[in-house]
Amino acid sequence: MTTNYIEVRKHYLEQLGQMGKELPGPMSGFGRLHAEVVKNDALDQKTKELMSLAVAIAVHCDGCIACHVHDAIEAGATRAELMDTIGVALLMGGGPGTVYSTHAMDAIDQFMAEKAKVISSN
């Protein structure tokens, strides 16, 4: 069975919004941290998203995979770059990382198809 990563991301973002209402201090702190970390600095945003994806695979986080595949594609990552990132995750994650790499491939396919739909409808 394939996970719908577009829906996973949507649900994750909805839940984070609710958590922000109920836990404004910690969530606003995390939001500021996220914004600072992903902005272009010595590394660009795309590189940081690819790094985040590799970690997401290694720690087995489907929500993280959904968000970082989406954000990496939005930052301009190509399929080849995403697949190379999966290779790094395989190296660092061993057998469990290999299994979770297939989750990332599903997410890549889904978000790239979604982006192609948007581009073709414009």
pLDDT tens-digit map of 72-91: 999 999 999 999 999 999 99
User: What's the token pair of residue 30?
Assistant: 């995390």
Query: Do 64 and 51 touch, CB atoms closer than 8 A?
Result: no
pTM: predicted TM-score of the whole model, two decimal places:
0.85
Pairwise CA distance, residues 44 & 52, whole Å? 12
CA 61 to chain CA mean position, Å: 10
Question: What band does 51 get if pLDDT is binned at 50, 70 and 90?
Answer: very high
Pairwise CA distance, residues 44 & 116, whole Å? 24
Least confident range from 14-18, 37-41, 96-100: namely 96-100
